[in-house]
Amino acid sequence: MTVGLTPDRAEASAGGAEPLSARALADAVRRGERRASEVVEEHLAAIEAVDGELGCFLTVTADGARRRAAEIDAEVAAGRDPGPLAGVPVAVKDNLCTTGVATTCASRILEGWRPPYDATVVARLAEAGAVMVGKTNLDEFAMGSSTENSAFGPTRNPHDPSRVPGGSSGGSAAAVAAGLAPLALGSDTGGSIRQPAALCGVVGMKPTYGTVSRYGLIAFASSLDQVGPVARSVADAAALFDVIAGHDPRDSTSLVDVPPACGPAVGAGVQGLRVGLVTELTDAQGVDADVRSRVAEAADALAVAGATVDSVSIPELRFALPAYYLLAPAEASSNLSRYDGVRYGLRVDGDDVADMNARTRAAGFGPEVKRRILLGTYALSAGYYDAYYAQAQRVRTVIIQAFARAYERFDVLLAATTPGTAFRLGEKIDDPLAMYLSDVCTIPTNLAGHPAISVPFGTDSAGLPVGVQILAPALGEPVMVAAAAVLERAAPSTPVPRVAAPTLATAGMPAVGGAR
C-alpha cells in the first residue's frame, strides 16, 4: 500500500484528541493540566450514577483506583512520567486475574475468588499509568453473545436497556459506550470483543493470536482466546493495544515478533489499499438488510478514500461456525475441569470426592457452560474424536489456507461484524443455535488467529448501532487500524446512548468518531 495522508494531516482530520478520549486524558494528566484523582472521581461518580441501570460492573474497585490515581498525581508532581495511559480509567473484564480483587468469570463457581497474581495485561496497564476502576460483567466463562449468561445478572445495552449489549465482553463494551470508562479490556474467542462493540456502538479489536499475553486470562478455548481493547475511537483502541501487546515469556503461545506500534498507523489512510468485501460475511447467513447497507456504504467510503474495493468469495468460511462449535467447547471442557471444589471457589459437599466434584460443578456452572462442557466432552470422547474434533481441526487448516489465498489479492478484508443489531433480552436465550449464529461473521478470524476490528458505522432503521469489521492477516494490525480509522471518520454519527455518564451526554458530541 502507499500512504495517502501524512500523519499530521491524518491526526488533524481524525480530530483524535476529543476531550473525553483516553489519549487526551492521559496527555492532560502527564502535562499536569488535569489530576488523575479528578479524572478517576468523575468516572467513579458516573458508574455510581448509571451502572445500577446497566449492570456493567461486577466489582467497582473505587478504593484501589483512588489510591492508584493519587500515586500517579504524586509521580507527575515529582516530575516523573507515569506512562502513556497516565490516569486513564480502565474497566477490566472479569475473566482477567487481578491480585486480591475478586475475579469471578461471572460464575458462581468462582464467586469471591481472589487471585494471588495479576494477569500480564493487567500488570502492563498499571505500568502504563492506567487506573483500573472495576471488573466488568460477561457471559459466564466468556461463553455467550449477550452477557445474559452471567450468574450475577445481565448487562443492558446503553442505547436501549431492554436490549442486550452483546457478549461475552458485554460489560466492557457497555461501560465504554456509556462513558463509565474511556477504555476497557475484553477477550475474544469467537467474537466476544467485536460483537458487543458493534452492538454498543464502540470500537473493539481482536489482536493477532499471540500478540497479547494470555497469562492471567481465565481460559475458555486456549487456541482461540485473545485479549484486546474496547474504546470509543480507533486511536484509543490502538493506544491501548500498543500498551498491552508484547512478548510474554509466561505464555508459551506468545509471539516473539509483535506488530509495530499501531498508534502511528491510525492516520495512515487507505490510498492504494486493496480491500476485499467478503461475500460470505456480508450477504449470506441471515445478515440484516440494514447491516448489509452499512457495509456497502463502508466499502464506498474506503473507495472514496483511495482504496480499491472488490468483492471476494471465500466459500470455506461457511464451515467456520460448525468447526468452532466443536473446537471451542472441546478445549473448554478440559479447561473447566479444574473447577472441582478442591482448591478454590465453590464446594458443595458430597459422599465422596467424586460426588462432591459433580455436585459442585452442577451447582456452580450455569446452563450455557454446562451445555458447552457436555458438547466438548462429547466431541473429544472415544469414537467421536476423529469425526468431530480432528475433522474440525482439519477444517481449521482449510480456513487458514482460504484466508491465505484471499490475502494474496487483498491487504485487508471488509465484513459485517454481526448479522443483526442488539436484540432484546431473553430473545435468544433458549435457542443456543440462534445465539451461536450471532458470531458467524467474527469466528473465522479466531480460527485463523488473525486480527480484526469492529468500527461503528451508522445505525439500523431503529437507531441501533451497526458495526463493520476490518480483517487483516497475521500481524497486520497497523494497516487494519489505518483502514478502521478511515471508516470511523467517514461513518454517520452514532447517537449518544440513552443511558450514559453525564459527561458523555453533555459533551454534545457523538460517542464515536471525530469532526464531520
Site string for another protein, 303-322 (x = CB under 8 A): -------------x-xx-xx
Residue 352 beta carbon to another protein: minimum distance, rounded to whole angstroms: 5
Binders of another protein among 410-469, rule CB under 8 A?
432-433, 436, 447-450
**C-alpha to C-alpha distance for 335 and 340, rounded to whole angstroms:** 12
**C-alpha to C-alpha distance for 247 and 249, rounded to whole angstroms:** 7
Q: Binding of another protein at residue 152 (CB under 8 A)?
A: no
Residue 58 beta carbon to another protein: minimum distance, rounded to whole angstroms: 15
**C-alpha to C-alpha distance for 466 and 291, rounded to whole angstroms:** 6
Cell 466488568: give the residue: 136
Among 150, 137, 154, smallest CA distance to 94 is for 137
| Binding segment toward another protein, per CB under 8 A, in 4-12, 283-291, 346-354, 419-427 | 346-354
Nearer to another protein, 35 or 450 (CB): 450
Q: Binding of another protein at residue 396 (CB under 8 A)?
A: yes
How many residues bind another protein (CB under 8 A)? The answer is: 102
| Binding segment toward another protein, per CB under 8 A, in 36-44, 146-154, 235-243, 374-382 | 374-382
Residue 429 beta carbon to another protein: minimum distance, rounded to whole angstroms: 12
User: Which of 20, 36, 380, 481 is close enough to bind another protein by CB under 8 A?
Assistant: 380
User: Which of 391, 492, 507, 509 is close enough to bind another protein by CB under 8 A?
Assistant: 391
Q: Binding of another protein at residue 407 (CB under 8 A)?
A: no
Name the strands in the sheet holding 57-60, side by side, starting at the edge strand that comes first in the sequence.
57-60, 131-136, 89-93, 183-187, 227-231, 203-206, 452-459, 465-471, 412-416, 274-278, 308-312
Binders of another protein among 196-215, rule CB under 8 A?
209-210, 214-215
Binders of another protein among 13-52, rule CB under 8 A?
none
Catalytic positions are 93, 168, 192
Binders of another protein among 98-117, rule CB under 8 A?
103, 105, 110, 113-117
Grid cell of 266 as nine digits: 491510525
Nearer to another protein, 322 or 492 (CB): 322
Residue 341 beta carbon to another protein: minimum distance, rounded to whole angstroms: 6
106: left (phi over 0), alpha (psi -120 to 50) or beta: left
Q: Binding of another protein at residue 347 (CB under 8 A)?
A: yes
**C-alpha to C-alpha distance for 147 and 144, rounded to whole angstroms:** 6
User: Which of 96, 130, 243, 287 is close enough to bind another protein by CB under 8 A?
Assistant: 96
**C-alpha to C-alpha distance for 300 and 306, rounded to whole angstroms:** 10
**C-alpha to C-alpha distance for 58 and 242, rounded to whole angstroms:** 27
Grid cell of 211 as nine digits: 500478540
For 328, phi and psi rounded to 5 degrees?
Answer: -65, -50
